[in-house]
Each structure stands twice: as structure tokens, then as C-alpha cells.
Structure 1
Amino acid sequence: MDVQSVVEEPKVYLLARCKSTIADQLKYARCQREDIKTMQDTNYQDVKIRDVVRYFTGDNPAQWVESGEQHQGTYGCPTGCGAPRKRFMDLGYCLHLQVKSLEGRRQLITSLPAGARGGSAPFKGLNKDQLIQNLDATGYDFDLECNKPELESQLKQHLAGASHIPALLYDEQQSTLKAINLEQYEVSSFESLHNAKEHIKNLLEELPNHVNQLEVQSTFQGKEVMRGSDFRKLLITVTTHLAANGGDLKVVELPNTLCEVVHICYLGEDERSPRLVLRLANQIYMHSLLVREVIGTQPTSIKPRKLYGQYYHSISTHAPILYRLINLKSVNAKHQEKLFNSLRGILCDTTSRRPGEVLGIGLVRLQAEQQGESDMAKEESQVSALGKSLRSVVPSNNTVIPWRYLSKPGLQLHYQPRRKVT
């Protein structure tokens, strides 16, 4: 039995019926905040226990809401590094940036008049006078003698993607994170399920344009939903095919390095070691540069904004740092996704979608359909088989960084210690 999976198995905590808008999702922040406060000091058999809420994990939309990051647009990194989307492919630039903590983002938002008033979109729809007032409050020397679009651009540049208060401080923006037992809380900068799946999907869509006689034929054609494991199996197939047929060494190394990155991301805490931390950093650095070298800055099948988007950025910039702090399997949203999909299927198939039935009958049916250890054993078997397949294609030799990469501006920044600032 995988002890880590048992301990980290998610449970249904809050079932809310609301629209998918940011404003509606933030309505439940007060309930969550009050529950977190009660976790500060608990007792178990006369032993005092202090629970520490450490990481939030989920897909990008959920991370954007939690951290207060703008949805789409010029920016979009939910961890608060402030990199514009058009600079995501610039590894040296992204590695040079410092990540703002959630408390730092709260202070940034509340330091401006519009942000201090609160709301889910405090900086949206400001007139010219209000823009000037907010820019003047920053204390920096901005050009205030310009038109409204230019003023909006300057304000966005100052906020660097921050659009509203972090979710758990909604309607209580003057309170600090320390006051509600969230002093060490942060949004996970990398989530292997979605980041790996989508990056593999983007890469395999573009790769046939750069390899002779390569057709990415999926054995999963006809499936309505392609899971993350399906894309990982497809990556293994492509990597094996390229290695067997030879060709340009750089093209062969491109999916090969990604295979090893994904393999390390799904290893358990018991296998994490300083050697693997360095190995992951090496392979990610190699893979990031190979993508640029093989595909270039102007892909053929997909837009550069998609290939070098949030998924590429999270892997190339944030994954090596996060792996030094925590096992990446612990911030994988796979179990949460599975639980959510099961609950959604139950509610769609067995209820009339009326609030009374959704809340009561839905939860009862979910508990009845959960099979506990049998499902977990089946999942462990699938993960083990996929891990063996990945292990068979990744090289066992040490990482060799070609001389042409040693002069790249991001090399030193990639290996030097970095951490968030408050």
C-alpha cells in the first residue's frame, strides 16, 4: 500500500452551488477562513497540535482565483513571479524574477485606493482620474500626462498580474495572513498532472513538423477524454520510436528529457533525494533549451503563446525550485480531479439537479460508490506499470550539458538558490 497516497487522499470538505464567476467563487472564502482559524491549536490525547496550511494545488483557473492573479491577458503566472506571457520562453529573464508571497500580493493590492476598497475586480473600469490617483499612490515616478489606455498599461505593469486580493482574504483585505493561520500558505507553483499533460499535448502536436516521417498516432483515438496517463503513454511511444529510428540527436533528446522530467514528478516522497533534485533541474534545463532549439520561437501547428505558455513556464521556471521543498506528487491534483469527476457524474446521472437533492443524495451516493482499498490498489498498479515504462526509456547515465548551452544566460540563475520574497 502507498502510505503517501492514503494520507493525502482528499475528502469532500465544502460542496457549494454557485456560478463559475470569480465573484461567486469568492463568496465562500469567509466560511473557509473561519474553519482555518479553528485549526490553530487543537488537542489529541493531551498533546497540543498546531496544523499548518502549507500549499494550495489545483489547475490554473483555481490557482488564479486563489492567488488573485488575472485570468488570461498580459500576465498569468498564479505564483506571482510577474513574468509577462510574451517573456515565458525567455528562461534567463524568468529565472531572474523573484516570486511574491501571498502576503506581499495582499500588501500590493491594498496599498492602492481601488484595491483597499475590495471586490473581485477592483481595478476594472477605473476612469482617468482614478487611474492617476492609484498610480500616484504607488510612490513611483509614472508619466501621468498621457491618455487613459497608457495609464491603464502603466497600472497593469505595476500590478504585474495581481488583480484582486487572495481568495481567503476576500472581504477582509486589511487582515494579514498570519492572523488567520496562513503565514506559510502559498499557491503551488507547479502541478504535475495538468502542467505535464498539457505540455506533452502541445509538444506532440508540433513535433511532427520537425521530424521526417513521424506521425503521432494515438492508440487512444475514439476516447472522449484523454487522461494525463494516456498522454504519458503516448510520449513513451514517440520517444521509443525516435530512439529506434535514429535521426537528429537533438530531436531524440527532446521527448527523452521530458520523459525523465515526468518520471521524477510522479515519484513518491520516499524516493526524493538531493541527487534527484539536481537530476530534475538538469533535465528541465536541457528540455527547455531543446524546445527552443528544435522548434524555435515560431511553431508551425500551434501559436507560440500556447507552446510557450503557462505549462512550459511552470515546468521550466518553477518545478525545480518546488521539488527542492516538497515532493511533487504531494501537490498533484489527480486525486482531487478524480473525486470531482466522480461527484459530478453522480449528480448529473442520479439527481434532478435541485439543490436539496444535490447536497444530500449526492454525498450519500458518493460515499456508497467509493470502494476504498480496491480502487486504490488498482490505481497503484496502473501507476507502477506506467512508472516502469517511463523508467525503461530514461537514460541511467549522468546528465551531460553540451558546451553550446554553458554560455546561455539562464545557466547560473537556474542553479542558484531562489525563494519567494514577502
Structure 2
Amino acid sequence: MNNMLDLNNSKTKAEVLSILFQKCLPQRQIETVPTSEAVYRIPAKNIYSCNTLPTYRASMMDGVAVSSSFFKDGMPDTSHWIDGREYSRADTGDDFDDPYDAVIPIEKVSFDVQGRLKFQEKIEVKEGMCVKKRGSTIKEGDCVLKAGMPIRPSDLAALVIGGIVQVPVLKKPVVAFIPTGSELVAAGTEPQRGQNIDSNSIMAKHMIIEMGAEPLCYPIVKDNLESIGIALEKSLKQADIIIMNGGSSKGGEDFTTKVFKNKGEVLLHWVKAGPGRPISLAVINKKPVINLPGPALAAYYGLDWCIRSIVNKYLGIPMIRRQKVTAVLTEDMPCPKPISFLCKMDIGKKTDGTYIATPVPFKTSSIGMCLGTNGQFISEIGEGDYKKGDAIEIELLCSEEFIF
């Protein structure tokens, strides 16, 4: 196991995921949920309409339904027309009585003070004019939703139109998040000397939700082998993916990898990605178990590339591609060559519309500034440092409209 602590033998992010999925390929499960609760879920198969609409026919617009036969010899005299006999009101989507076979738009008709129908201009009326045929909106058997694409609010409307009340979706993987550290206190607690606030749990919870998974956040676990082991055993019964947070490096109270070794197969320890190099991964009871470093930015990076990739594998969806902009660096930006390095960036916009980016180094900046940036840059292994004035592509962590 000593070689697991050798940085020279650490793996790239791609290698880490490849090793994990070779040992532990997620098994997707299907569940059925009400259509009203299916938004942003992943459909497990193509969904086909049960309905045909219109069921017979319907008006394309607000107007009056008429018989085209009245117009075969030109414009008819409507002075004696009666609603319900020679014509009928037909609003958008309405069916209308069988004697009528065409609809004249309401903009082309008027009614005098006695309520008699008048045409505002000469109209050529033919059978089927402004009439939607049976099945022109949707037919039984039409595909309304394709497997694998997250269900959007507009898709819910299509499902309802198709008469779908239950949707088979991929079950959300349950992701357990276990914060460890004898120095940690719960959020909202005033920290005393030697204490630190557990901020990662709330971040992890909502990142996991955003990924499309189900978070299961545990209370703080103290730094000892027994407590960590008990929490791990419990989580293995409740979750599909387990994250132990903290105790991942080589400190005197870094017990997590030891617990992993006792309970399953440790695949690796240390990754060529920083901050957060001392990630370790194991497979225990055929489930992926990941030890993320404790510092907030390291935990964020590990969640963003590692946990997100695992959740995506469960759900069969591609990795997120954030919008990028090209920005000019306002300062030098060190990037260690041996690793893929996360640089948090403060992006601004000049009066001419060009973007500028200021690096926010995690070692010299407040954690609030680091976590709160509107952009980030992830260097490739071997790239090295960037200089003031270099133009680089930066991932946006907010909508472009919020960059000033």
C-alpha cells in the first residue's frame, strides 16, 4: 500500500474513472413516477402517445364555422343567417357541428347592431379552410419523449397531451455524504478555538441535487477508526455512492483510507488533479466509495469532476459542458504542470465588450472569494503557467448576463 501515497504513481482524472468503472460499473434501475413529478428526470425508454388529438377535428383559430357550399357561387347574402343554422362560433381548438366544414377567421367578420353576421371583405372559402384534421396535433403511437434526455417543463406538456400519466425513469442514485473531522462543528454553530465549520455538507447536498442524484447527508463523524467504520457500514446499506469527506491525506488523524482497506478494495490514492490531490477511491460491497479532501475548494473540485462523472454514469447522461468565454488575464496565473489544476476566476467585461479575468488563488485568497467566483479555468497536465495578457477560454459559473 505504500505506493498509493507516491505522487509519481498517481493517476489522471480519466484514468481514475476508467479504473473505477472497470471494477464497479453502475447498475441502472428503473422506477415509475407520476408525470407531474418527472421534471428533470431521465426517461428510461422512448415514450409514445396514447392519445389522438384532435379526436375528430378542431378550429385552427377564433372564427366562425361555415359550410363551404354556401360560397361556391361567390359571396353569399348573410343578412338572414342565424347562429347555429348557417354558421356557428368556433374558437381556437374547438370542435364544431358536422354541417360546417370550414372556419373563417374572426378578423374577417363583424356583427351589426342587430347581431347579424357580415364579412369585411370578399373571401374565398374552401372545404377544410382553417380546420385541423384528426390527429394533426398528435397521433396515438407518436414519440413524445426520447430515452436519455432530461425531461423539461415543455416535455411535461407533451406527455400530458399524449395522455401519459406515469413515466418510467432511471432511479436517482443515492449519494451519501459523510463529513469527518474532530475539529468540525455543525453549520450555525459559533466556532471556538481549534474548531472549524462543516461547510462542505451543504455544498455537496445541493451539487448532488443539481447532478440529478439524491443526497443523503450524515452528521459529523469524529476522527477515529471505529466511528468512521460504523458510518461507512451504515451508508453502504443506504446509498449507491458513498463520499467520505476529510481524512484523505497523510495526517495523524487521516484514517479513511485505512478503513477502506479493511472493508474492500482500495483502487488508488492520490490523483493528478488539484486542489484535492489526495482523493482515494475504493470498491466496497460492489459500490463506489470516494474519499474527498476536506478543504472546501478541494471538495468542490472533487465533486465537480469525480462525483458528477459517477452520477452521470448511473443516469447515462454526458458530462456537463458549461458555456465558455475568451478572456484576457489581468495577472499571471501559476498552473502546476504535473496536474490538472483548478483556477478560480473573477470575470469582468470592458466597455468594448471584451472579457477580462483575474485569477483568485486559493492559497492567498479568502475562501469566500474562491467559492464565489463567476468563472473557473482547469489547466491540462503539462500546460504550466499563464502570463498577464494571455487570452484563455474560461468556464462560466453563472449566466453571461451577470458578468459586468
Shorter-chain TM range is under 0.3
Q: Which has the higher strand share?
A: 2
**Structure 1 or 2: more helix by fraction:** 1
TM-score by length of 2: 0.24
Higher relative contact order (CA 8 A, sep 6+): 1
